Amino acid sequence: MASSPPDITIPTDLLPGDGRFCCGPSKVRPEAVAALAAEAGEYLGTSHRQPGVRFMVARLRNGLAEMFALPDGYEVLLGNGGTTAFWDALSFGVVQERSHHLVFGEFSGKFAEVTRSAPHLGEPSTAKADPGSAPALAAVEGVDAYALTHNETSTGVAVTPTRPEGADPGSLVLVDATSAAGGLRFDPTDTDVYYFAPQKCLASDGGLWLAACSPAAIERIERISASDRWVPASLDLGIALENSRKDQTYNTPALATVFLAVQQVEWINQNGGLHFAAQRTEANARVAYEWAEASEHATPYVTDPELRSNVVATVDLADDVDATVVAAVLRANGVHDTESYRKLGRNQLRFALFPAIEADDVAALTRCIDHVVGELRTA
Ligand SMILES: *Cc1c(COP(=O)(O)O)cnc(C)c1O
């Protein structure tokens, strides 16, 4: 940062109760942290091969199956390395020959690059759209895996996953739901691998990947794992499947991450499941976009209201106010991580609307932005 932000103090009565708006790692509910502290002496620092931790992993797998209302035969797999490592695992263990990617931002582009550079796979095809919009999904001959993104976190565009009409029989639908899982509605029967990491809607920490897999996906994993394709053990989904079925991971997981994710999933389930979580993000999104539409200095970046994300808001600011300065002033006042995605290069604020975040705090954030813009304009 070249210089420190202008000295603007936001009045206390405008500030949110909780100033964490990062799109990942995201706000962890204080109740979850307190529960971890209360159980720490019996849980942290104990073996992940023993019943205590394995029971926690079972609660996570079962809780997710309940939250997503997974059909019979779907299984929740998990392993270390977060979504980025899981892309590599998919390129080894699920894509048979050729994948097709809908690319409309940084994250969807990264997975396409993974399969493009994998020497054992054919050249993937891509359908691209400009940032802020989304490409159409169409079947492509010879493709055995379709790569969709439920919520493109870099742009704030959300698209409900569907199966491409007329796709080759046996082709699978892989959905990067890293910032969507547990915050947006979807139909699991429209997906074969619905994968994510717990530092976004699950209000936990990073480093773990989780994947809800259909029977067809499990069959693909088992078939490739038994073939002579070389796969590094830490990315081998056959090994991950075996361990997950025993409520374990191949190597040591972060126990606190598992615990905090369980807290969030059980909180959601106890309050009505995914419907409850989706209602919370809908309420947060309503506050954010209604404010931006009415504002004279802010505009929703995503022009098509149907594509606007309920979990990640992106808002352009008027040319005469510098969004990086606004974000820096907010940060200096304890309101964190409202900077836009760095590579998007727009005069924009981006903030999370995840289920752990209170609608009142989103409203407070908008009042803080208005205040800072007003101060900057009169300075
Ligand atoms: C955050 C994010 C990722 C990267 O997740 P990591 O766990 O940090 O690897 C990938 N895809 C999407 C859509 C994301 O939001």
Segment 42-54, tens digit of pLDDT: 999 999 999 999 9
Q: 102: part of which helix (H) or strand (E)?
A: strand 99-103
Burial state string for 208-233 with b = 16 or more CB within 10 A and e = fewer than 16: bbbbbbbeebbebbeebbeeeeebee
Q: Give mean pLDDT, residues 108-125.
A: 98
Residue 330: pLDDT over 90: yes
Is the CB of residue 67 less than 8 Å from the CB of residue 182?
Answer: yes
Helix (H) or strand (E) holding 116: helix 106-117
- Residues with Cβ within 8 Å of 243's Cβ and at least 6 positions away in sequence, in order, are 79, 249, 250
| pLDDT at site 2 | 56
Q: What is the pLDDT of residue 342?
A: 85
Q: How far is the CA of 289 from the centre of ligand 1 (A)?
A: 24
What would the pLDDT profile of 81-101 be if each residue is shown by its tens digit?
999 999 999 999 999 999 999
CA atoms within 13 A on the CB side of 119: 3
Q: What is the mean pLDDT of the chain?
A: 97
Residue type, 135: P
Residue to mutate, 179, 205, 314, ligand 1, most ligand atoms under 8 Å from C-beta: 179
Amino acid letter, residue 128: K
Q: Is the pLDDT of residue 280 over 80?
A: yes
d(CA 365, CA 112): 35
pLDDT digits (tens, 9 = 90+) for 157-205: 999 999 999 999 999 999 999 999 999 999 999 999 999 999 999 999 9
Give the model's confidence band at 303: pLDDT under 50 very low, under 70 low, under 90 confident, else very high: very high
Beta strands 193-196 and 172-176, pairing class: parallel
pTM exceeding 0.85 = yes
- Which of 101, 151, 153 for a ligand 1 pocket mutation test, highest count of atoms within 8 Å of Cβ? 153
The verdict on the CB of residue 68 being under 6 Å from ligand 1 is: no
The amino acid present at 301, given as its one-letter code, is Y
Q: What is the pLDDT of residues 1-28, one digit of tens each?
A: 457 899 999 999 999 999 999 999 999 9
Taking the C-alpha atoms of residue 194 and residue 171, their distance in angstroms, rounded to an integer, is 15
Angle at CA of residue 172, ends 167 and 176, nearest 5°: 120
